Structure 1
Amino acid sequence: MSETAQPTPVADERIKEIAGWRKALIRPELGGIVGTVAVFVFFLIFAADSGMFSAQGVLNWSVVSAQFMIIAVGACLLMIAGEFDLSVGSMIGFSGMMIAIFSVTLGWPVWMAILVTFALAIAIGALNGFIVIRTGLPSFIVTLAFLFILRGFTIYLPQTIERKTIIGGVSDVAQGDWLAPVFGGKILTGFFTWMGEAGLIQVFDRGNRAGQPVVDGIPMLIVWAILLVIFGHILLTRTRFGNWIFAAGGDAQAARYVGVPVNRVKILMFMFTAFCATVFATCQVMEFGSAGADRGLLKEFEAIIAVVIGGALLTGGYGSVIGAALGALIFGVVQQGLFFAGVESSLFRVFLGVILLCAVILNTYIRRMITGER
């Protein structure tokens, strides 16, 4: 018997072929990749001799990058879902203050203070999402209101209870707590001690720490940043829920027609953003041993800028967690790199403004390329 001839596939003329170089351009991580390479090349040229790429220097900018990265992951997923959260910075200050009040002022075990604070923050995130969904108000307005509400409570509560806006003593009450090291501890300490003894990294040559490595472990802040980036990337690119996030931000009404639970997706993303902010706050409180009413100022805008640099569109439905992580890495390297290069640190804000403008222009061009607009 002769085999039945297979019909030759005919290209659908409704589908517009995209040239190879354009396929590369529409990858959301492109801007972050190019920016990361450019930033590292710049500081390798102008700050290599300043110690920026020594063990201590790498740790410095890695910690700063991790701070941006933690909140950028939550902001990225929420922006892809088509919403904004301007209360992230205030949530950082509020969560840190709640941990300090619960543990130091009220005498709760630190693990209980942390868990209750996480529950409270996630509930506030859910409330943000619920209000946005039920009222139809822009998330920009709703979360702007919570920015002021949370910041107000962050200042009012410690002033009323302790007559001050900074509460210390967290390190003392955290001694021996089982959960505190998850946010304030370090990993691979033995490995770094071995590297110091082997002469692979610098060690202190005087004082009480003579002979000990200048970097004695990887802070849990960095570990949390890496774990959240991995989780966010897998969630977004390997799960059905990730498709729902894209659909909710791309065309919410069309997504509802095909059965996507848009409201639930958006509320969960608000909750996840609050969770990320609280992770940041908890690590910060455990590191400094105190909580301050001014913690987290402007972090919401820095998170959004990192996400935009990473390729996310302000209109939703498009973006990448990896891109957002690269945007956060750029922030950390530049902020610390300016110091190592001897440049006035206030110029970091100038950099943020310039790079945000450039990223938005690039992303707008990419959106028009994808949609075929002129």
Structure 2
Amino acid sequence: MTIHSDSVSDVTPTRVPRRLESPSLVARLARAPELGAAVAAILLYIFFSIAAAGNGFTSISGTASWLNTAAQLGIIAVPVGMLMIAGEFDLSIGSMVGAGSVTVGIVTGYYGQPLLFGLAIAFCVAMIGGLGNGLLVTRTGVPSFIVTLASNFIIAGLALAISRSMVNSTSIQVQSDGLVSEALAMHWGDFDVAILWWLGIIAVAAWVLGQKQFGNWMFATGGDAEQARRAGVPTAWVKIVLYLCTALASAFVGALQAVQFHTGDATTGQGYVFQAPMVVVIGGVLLLGGYGTVLGVVLGTLIYGFVSAGLFYTGWNTDYAQVVIGVLMVIAVLANSAVRRTAANTFRTNGARGANR
């Protein structure tokens, strides 16, 4: 059988789609969750460096001021950011700070026990609270906003009631000494040891998100929990672990403050309820979950430190700090939404071009 050349020429070869083109460096940077926060942080630092040039914002004490503020908030904000990446909220962090603080005060000041034992009891209280939040959210299906808002009131009320029943006050003197006290309240000049604790938490969180399977599970859970469950991701377990982390971090900050100021106070910490989620959102984490980085959370926390210390050193009314942070949060949400739409459109466009080649 003879095959004619014209017959072969009429055969149309099957088209094999080419691999989608990799986005350029500029495109990748434009879609980076932390880009907006990085730009805002640089601009704010430059602005306050100029506006408060003669008042010490860029001095050693000025740098320590915004770093100390950012460190204690950042210890809470990093695990809160990881939880929000997984698609959930925790508004009980404020009362957990107060509970951790007053627990250390009760154990050391009222019962006269060692600080290490007080810290252990505070962590146990935090784990009970975090586990309760995680189980309620995963087992009942009630939105985490409602569950943790309710637990915030419950924990705060219990801390106040127990403190007043014991010493007829919301605050209790803390007795602390030794290595544990140094580890929680040490400082070098104007720089607090909380900065080192914050850096350690940042390193662990970045390692988990970038290198470990648990980090992939977090993004999958926040992106689409149902699809993640079908793929074998233990979404409930992921959320419970993260609730434990936010509770432990909050109690730890309460213990830091209790040792630093020698007083356990049940009323402290409520400012973190919204400060932590705000800096997380400013750092590029989406409210719906599945998108964000540890670097973005760090930058958002630094922005809060810049604004808080910067307004003080300029001599302006520090009440405007909340205004600035609120405006930045709105801008961050709008920018993240725009970036997400742009990324989705780019992916669809590149996909169509690749299929037509």
> Would the TM-score normalized by the shorter structure come out above 0.5?
yes
Q: 1:370 offset after TM fit, Å?
A: 2.9
Q: 1:9 offset after TM fit, Å?
A: 8.1
Per-residue Cα deviation, 1:147-189 (whole angstroms, up to 9, x for no partner): 1011112221111110111212x1xx2123x322221123xx5
CA 1:266–1:16 in 2, change beyond 3 Å: closer, same or farther? Answer: farther
Greater CA radius of gyration, 1 or 2?
Answer: 2
Q: Match for residue 11 of structure 1?
A: 18
Contact 1:220/1:283 (8 A) holds in 2: no
Q: 1:371 offset after TM fit, Å?
A: 3.0
Give the alignment of 1:134-173 within 5 angstroms.
Answer: 134-168=139-173, 170=174, 173=175
Match of residue 174, structure 1, among 164, 173, 176: 176
Task: Confirm whether residue 324 of structure 1 aligns to residue 310 of structure 2.
Answer: no
Further displaced range: 297-306 or 362-371: 362-371
**Distance in structure 2 (CA, Å) of the matches to 1:129 and 1:357:** 28
Task: Confirm whether residue 300 of structure 1 aligns to residue 307 of structure 2.
Answer: no
Give the counterpart letter for 2:269 in structure 1.
G
Task: Confirm whether residue 133 of structure 1 aligns to residue 135 of structure 2.
Answer: no
Q: 1:31 offset after TM fit, Å?
A: 1.5
Give the alignment of 1:31-110 within 5 angstroms.
Answer: 31-110=36-115
**Distance in structure 2 (CA, Å) of the matches to 1:119 and 1:87:** 16
Q: Secondary structure of 1:291's partner?
A: strand
Q: Unaligned 5+ residue runs, structure 1?
A: 1-7, 190-214
Contact 1:33/1:326 (8 A) holds in 2: yes
Match of residue 363, structure 1, among 329, 336, 343: 336
Contact 2:76/2:246 (8 A) holds in 1: yes
Q: Percent identity?
A: 37
Q: Match for residue 233 of structure 1?
A: 206
Contact 2:100/2:252 (8 A) holds in 1: no
1 or 2, which has the higher helix percentage? 2
Q: Secondary structure of 1:314's partner?
A: coil
Contact 1:235/1:241 (8 A) holds in 2: yes
Say how many residue pairs are matched. Answer: 333
**Distance in structure 1 (CA, Å) of the matches to 2:164 and 2:242:** 32
- Structure 1 segments, 4+ long, off by >6 Å, are none
Q: Secondary structure of 2:264's partner?
A: strand
**Distance in structure 2 (CA, Å) of the matches to 1:89 and 1:97:** 13
Task: Confirm whether residue 261 of structure 1 aligns to residue 244 of structure 2.
Answer: no
Q: Secondary structure of 2:54's partner?
A: helix
Q: 1:123 offset after TM fit, Å?
A: 2.2
Q: 1:34 offset after TM fit, Å?
A: 0.6
